[in-house]
Chain A
Amino acid sequence: MAKVSCTHCGLEFDESVMIKEQEGERELYFCCKGCEGVYHLLNQKGLDGFYEQLGNNKLEPVSLEASDDLERFDLEGFHKKYVKTNSEGFKEIHLIIEGIHCSACVWLNEKVLHQTPGILEATINYSNNKAKVVWDSDEIKLSKIIETIRAIGYNAYPYDPKLQEEKAVKLRNEYYTRILVGVFATMNIMWIAIALYTGYFTGMEQSKKNILHIAEFVLATPTLFYSGWIFFRGAYYGLKNRFINMDLLVSVGATFAYIYSIWAMVTKKGEVYFDSVTMIITFVLVGKYLEILSKRKAADTLDKILGSTPTEAMVVEGNNRKLKAIETIEPGEIIELKAGEKVVIDGVLTKGKALFDLSVLTGESEPILKEQGDEIVSGSVVIDSLVEYKTTKRANDSLLYNMTELLSDAVTKKPKIEQLANQISGYFSITILLLALLTFIGWYFFMDVGFEKSLIIAISVIVIACPCALGLATPMATLIGISKAAKEGILFKEANKIETMAKATILALDKTGTVTVGRPVVVNYAEYDDYDKNLLYSLVASSNHPVSMGVKRYLLEHYENLEKIDFESTKEVQAKGVEATKEKQKLLGGNIELLKANGIEFTISSENTLYIFAIDGKVVASFELRDIVKPAAKEFIDSIKAMGIKVVMLTGDRAEVAENIAKELGIDDVKANLLPADKAAVIDSYHKDGEVVVMVGDGINDSIALAKSDIAIAMGSGADIALEVSDVVLLNSSLNSLKSAFALAKNVYRAIKENLALSLLYNIIAVPLAIMGYVTPLIAALAMSLSSLTVVANSFRIKKS
């Protein structure tokens, strides 16, 4: 049958199932009532321009779920948490709009909101789907606004802008403007400086020199005081806490050079150093900005997790149901959960049974059936039916809250290594500053060369030591390392992580999906009677359960020309299997429990998961399934061990399963039965022993442990949140690229050490020369570029290896 596309959402379906409609010359097709409604609504409002902008993009079909939760948007508790009143007395909220696929969606949402009376401002960000809405509470209620968005086929839920994000964006914008000023001034001061340097060798009239000096002065002033403000502030806070940092060195060096240059400009004696002032400030500022960028990534992750946590729950009191803020719910209250809802408070199931998705907590994708009296933990999601449960804890004591707390801790205070680097640069700064001071005293009091010469020599000590020494050595090598890694499908999110990875002493591996393929694979097959393979194929194809899918893959690999047969009826039996009927034959596919339930006697024992196929009460075939080890895993673990790194396995799975796989791979240290927080605790215990831990994982359940570890690596196919917290992402998800990531990191680290040795050598030679007063601008320029060149050349050797 011919396929036609839905006039609203653009998805294609068979013509027979579509809702047909005639509009003048045009025939309209809709895939559902929802799409039809939205199409007419848009036409009515004169917003049909939407479809022009949409072009060939596809939307999700509009769902017409009854929205009975609208009242919660007008609750006082909700307003207290999400809505703020702006300076003009209007209400303001930040929303995340669901269902935005293209710029036309943004246009439509904005347009509709703009046309709604009472809404004063509505801006939607395309890249993160976040919207800011300002409205007049006298004219319109928030629930009405949400309803308007839902009416056109999107959904909106609030998020708290006081989270990390807003702060991080503000900080980023601040840096951005300061850098812009710095870069602008540097670019302009450079060409003026070239003229001045040429004049230095060829001779230039004093009057022309003066003009260039004044121009440089004009450009350097905003750079030092506006762009450089960050260093002054940093140095001030550092001093206040009795701590000398790199900021102090930069600001002292730049300020002295600036003051001296003004003096040289006014008295028309000596050279000016305005160009050095702007360049130092700008370059070091760019370095700081890169740090800020990486912190922002972490903030985004947190928002995503916290944003998807519900703020209210439906509490049952006798025959009434009432939405209550989760903070106000006491232990012992009864909460109703609908399919698809997330549990926020731990408790015990009191009514009904349902499948729960625990993947956030355990990483195992298989849903688990819970019945009355079973404990349910927060973070899990109800999949299929309506249940009621009694809370046993408060929201703040529940597992989900603890998990997010742990994660936010881990994300916000990570920089153990960074602190060390700061400490080192602190000592370096003190040494250089003291040396400069001693130099000045020495020259002024003992050599009697006058104030000007002494000061210039002291400044030259600071200037020559400052940017090049520690500055270029590390970034150059890591930059080349990063670009090489990217070509091999390894993405390092932060440059300094390469260094940490090279120092790694322990590699912690997650089991499922990391060293195993992460889904059940048929390892044993027994046939007891001849049967039509197409029947079995059609049966397993009707279910999305991982075991069914494993059997389906096995059939596809081993038999050809499989065809799908239409059954008269199919029924999925919770946690047991699938039943179907075909021409009075009764088909059963599932575990032993399913057979027992249907009164079939069959004995088979296996430590693996079983899938048994029976026709009309007779077992014809059985499959044993197991999560198997990836082919390259053994070789990978051997080579990691050869690098002198200890390998451990952390898993949420049962101990026997974990032991078996560990034995197969040659891993001696296995920790099984771990909850997400336990994994993180294990990592912490390693930290206490002074180990540097690399953690490899893929599930959301690994994200706390990933965030805690020094290096987090997510396999490419893993959950989004795991990808967000990880420092290294492997695009092709292979253990081979993980191996080359280790090798590359070691190479880069060696190059960094060589570079540091080279620049140290440069400092050892250049600084004493500067102290002795031999460094004229010419020599300084030569020495600087020579040392930079050797560092760059050495770094390029990484590319070859």
Chain B
Amino acid sequence: MSDNVITLMIGISTALGAFGLFALIWGIKTGQFDDQTKFLDGAKFDSEEDYKDAVMMEQKKKEALKKKREKEKNYRPAD
């Protein structure tokens, strides 16, 4: 086996493994595994509605943020 082949094999397999590892750590950091039951039920009751829900919540947050910023912009300290 040539040196290049060994380098390539070790390199690629480690990189793939590392990719999986990072995905897992990202999941932990964002709290996706905090609740085991919900995590498993998520697979059972997966539906389009949940996505719509998630989009709706994001929209709501964006609007609330926008409103808040506008309020702050219009706010003038009393002098």
Contacts and interface: CB of A to CB of B under 8 A. Distances in A.
Interface string A118-158: 11110011110000000010110000000000000000000
Contact of A121 (B10, B36, B61): B61
A111 B37 contact: no
B35 A88 contact: no
A638 to B, nearest CB: 46
B29 A173 contact: yes
A103 interface: yes
Contact of A211 (B3, B18, B57, B71): B3
A296 to B, nearest CB: 13
Given A53-B45, A173-B28, 17 more contacts: A89-B68, A103-B38, A114-B56, A119-B60, A120-B60, A127-B37, A136-B68, A173-B29, A180-B24, A180-B28, A181-B25, A184-B21, A207-B3, A208-B3, A211-B6, A211-B10, A218-B14
Contacts, number: 75
Given A114-B57, A126-B38, A188 B64 contact: no
A573 B73 CA distance: 68
Contact of A208 (B6, B38, B64): B6
B67 A180 contact: no
Given A177-B28, A184-B17, A208-B6, A139 B64 contact: yes
Contacts of B79: none
Contacts of B25: 177, 180-181
Contact of B35 (A120, A126, A219): A126
A176 B28 contact: yes
Interface in B1-36: 3, 6-7, 10-11, 14, 17-18, 21, 24-25, 28-29, 34-36
Given A173-B29, A177-B28, A211-B3, A125 B38 contact: yes
B65 A88 contact: yes
Interface string B48-59: 000001001100
Nearest to B67: A138
A292 interface: no
Interface string A584-598: 000000000000000
Interface residues of B, number: 30
15 contacts: A90-B64, A103-B45, A114-B57, A120-B60, A120-B61, A126-B36, A138-B68, A176-B28, A180-B24, A180-B25, A180-B28, A181-B25, A184-B21, A188-B17, A212-B6
What does DSSP make chain A's interface, helix, strand, loop or mixed?
Answer: helix
A120 B17 contact: no
Nearest to A169: B34
Contacts of A212: 6, 10
A781 B67 CA distance: 67
Interface residues of A, number: 37
Interface string A169-201: 100010011001100100010001000000000
Contacts of A290: none
A669 to B, nearest CB: 47
Interface of A: 53, 88-90, 103, 106-107, 111, 114, 117-121, 124-127, 136, 138-139, 169, 173, 176-177, 180-181, 184, 188, 192, 207-208, 211-212, 215, 218-219
A183 to B, nearest CB: 9
Contacts of A126: 35-38, 41
Contacts of B17: 184, 188
Q: Top 4 closest A-B pairs, CB basis?
A: A126-B37, A125-B35, A103-B41, A136-B64
A118 B7 CA distance: 56
Given A125-B34, A138-B67, A184-B21, A192 B57 contact: no
Nearest to B68: A89
Given A125-B35, A211-B7, A111 B53 contact: yes
